[in-house]
Chains A and B, each alone.
Chain A
Amino acid sequence: MFSLLYRMVRDRALAEDLAQETFIKVLNGIKSYRPEFKFSSWIFKIANNAAIDHLRRKSIDTLSLDGAPSAETPEQVRATSLQLGDRAESPLDEVESRELGSAIERAIARLRPEYRSCILLRHVEGYSYEEIADTLDLPLGTVKTYIHRARNELRGYLEDRRD
């Protein structure tokens, strides 16, 4: 769950805050847990909602290397771009650059948050499509579409890098 949060927000301290918030919600709200729902899915649902809420609150719905999708001018693109290369300022920044600096991690960071959640749950956490649909409250067809599009985008980013 921490890995998912970390890859969603790409900030260790923030991911820990969100993980803490998630566990406190889970443990304090354990009475509202419905046993027909997989327990780990319930935790992932709360964690993912926390990450998405945070990204929306901060208006950085794609922590994009290429700037926010709403950016219309070159200045706006520059202002909203994630500058990974410039971040090695503190020991924590260095850790983050090392942990999330590979080509595949950078490609994941370019995905829309909805695609990112789905692809991480599918291929990193090993969830089935049905479990992802349950966890994220999405129709099964939407989950499949998101995952296929995410893989296509990742392929594009990774193949561009190799060319």
Chain B
Amino acid sequence: MTDISMHLTTDEIELWAQGLLPAARAMHLAECSLCRTEAERERKVMLELVQLPKFAPSAGFADRVMAQVKVPTPSGDWTP
């Protein structure tokens, strides 16, 4: 069992950022300004990371890939 006075670990801060921190540890966070400051700093970075855009390759990418992939034909041969 974790001592309520113990500061949050990095794993616990990540759980808190995901809304998954157990209530007992959340109580410590509510009372500890050191942990709150640390948790807020971590959350800011995590938030920036999860908001990063996804990128896609240029048009025609799938065709270029498939042109180089060997596909089995009904006769058992491979193309191309």
Interface flag for A123 (CB, 8 Å): yes
Interface flag for B57 (CB, 8 Å): yes
A119 touches B69 (CB 8 A): no
Which residues 19-57 in B have Cβ within 8 Å of A in the complex?
41-42, 44-46, 48-50, 52-57
A124 touches B65 (CB 8 A): no
Which residues 49-80 in B have Cβ within 8 Å of A in the complex?
49-50, 52-58, 61, 64-65, 68-70
Of the candidates B56, B64, B68, B70, which one forms a contact with A2 in the assembled complex, judged by CB atoms under 8 Å apart?
B56
Which residues of A have CB within 8 Å of B56? 2
Of the candidates A12, A123, A144, A155, which one forms a contact with B11 in the assembled complex, judged by CB atoms under 8 Å apart?
A144
| Chain A, residue nearest B9 (CB) | A148
A6 touches B55 (CB 8 A): yes
A148 touches B10 (CB 8 A): yes
| Chain B, residue nearest A30 (CB) | B69
Per DSSP, chain B at the interface is helix
Of the candidates A15, A24, A124, which one forms a contact with B68 in the assembled complex, judged by CB atoms under 8 Å apart?
A24
Interface residues on A, range: 20 to 34
Within the assembled complex, what's the spacing in Å between the Cα atoms of A3 and B56?
7
Within the assembled complex, what's the spacing in Å between the Cα atoms of A28 and B65?
11
Which residues 114-152 in A have Cβ within 8 Å of B in the complex?
119, 123-124, 144, 148, 151
- Identify the A interface with B (CB < 8 A): 2-3, 6, 12, 15-16, 19-20, 23-24, 27-28, 99, 104-105, 119, 123-124, 144, 148, 151, 154-155, 158-159
- Identify the B interface with A (CB < 8 A): 10-11, 41-42, 44-46, 48-50, 52-58, 61, 64-65, 68-70
Question: What are 13 inter-chain pairs, A to B, with CB distance below 8 A?
Answer: A2-B55, A3-B53, A16-B57, A19-B57, A19-B61, A20-B68, A23-B69, A144-B10, A151-B45, A154-B48, A155-B44, A158-B45, A158-B48
